[in-house]
Each structure stands twice: as C-alpha cells, then as structure tokens.
Amino acid sequence: MGLNMKSIRACLATAIVALFAVTFVSLAPAFAVDLPDDDDQDILIRATLMTFNDANLSGNYSVFMAKASKEFQAQFTAEKMASAFESFSKNKVDLEDVVTADYDSYEKARLDGNALVLVGVFKTDDFEVKYNLRFLRNEDVWKVSSINVDATKTKH
C-alpha cells in the first residue's frame, strides 16, 4: 500500500506540474506583443512626425507630450522637448510634405523587448528626414517612447 501511495503522489505531482506548464504556455501568447501591420506602421510614423512638426512650428509641445507614452512623459517635459528640438523651431523647419512623401525603411520594423522600433527616411523636395522612433504599448495603444529626427535640406 505504501508503494501505491508513492505512485499516486508521484502521478499527482507530475499532473500538477504538467497542468502549470500547459497553463503557462497557453497564457504566453496573450501577453505577446505583435508587430502592427504595414498600414498601421505607416500611420504611426506619419502621425508622430506630424505631431512633432506641429509642436516645433507652434513651440507648444503639450499635445506631443499628451500623445506620448507614460514612460516618455515621466522622463521628459514639454520644456525639455522644446530645448532638445530648438533648432527645428528656430529654423522654422516644416516637415508637412512628409504626409504625402514616400519613405524608405532603413530597417525592417522590429520589436526590441516590448518596444516597437521604426527607422527610415522620407525624401521631400526640401528635406531628407531621417527618423528613429520607438513605441510602447500603453492601454493597448502604441505610443511614442523615443524620437530621433534629423532633417537635412536637400540640394537643388
């Protein structure tokens, strides 16, 4: 009888471990972050750059900050943004042509941990606009967590 009880305990322990493993594996995809499709990536890039452009032209970064991720908001203020991108405002760099311009992705969209990374360039009549954007999911919405933009005047 003692041997049977050990066998039952061993089987029960194995079943519990297997149940936890199955539960963990079946829950993992629910927490996985998927890359947005090409159209959604396009919208993220253009919307972020247009909000950035509006902030630079107006000198008011509050809307950009409100649309940014919680992590970005915790790290930066509107004043820090204005200071970091002062050259855009001072030189009245207007990136509105980005809305309709074609772009090239330097890198394939990728996930870096939970961050979506989008890197590429727009070529307009006036500028070559290189961007490196990172987004995090906040409340099931991709929100910018890092922005690096370089706009170089094109030579005519």
Q: What is the pLDDT of residues 109-137, one digit of tens each?
A: 999 999 999 999 999 989 999 999 999 99
Average pLDDT over residues 35-51: 96
Looking at residue 114, what DSSP letter applies? T
Say yes or no to pLDDT of 67 above 80: yes
Put residue 99 in one of left, alpha, beta given phi > 0 → left and psi -120 to 50 → alpha: alpha
Average pLDDT over residues 53-73: 96
Say yes or no to pLDDT of 28 above 70: no
> In the structure, what pLDDT confidence band is assigned to residue 83 with cuts at 50, 70 and 90?
very high
Question: What string of DSSP letters covers 29-84?
Answer: HHH--PPPPHHHHHHHHHHHHHHHHHHHHHS--HHHHHHS-HHHHHH--HHHHHHH
Question: What string of DSSP letters covers 115-152?
Answer: EEEEEEEEE-SSEEEEEEEEEEEETTEEEEEEEEEEEE
pLDDT averaged over every residue in the chain:
84
Say yes or no to pLDDT of 3 above 90: no
**Distance from C-alpha of 153 to C-alpha of 156, rounded to nearest angstrom:** 9
Say yes or no to pLDDT of 69 above 90: yes
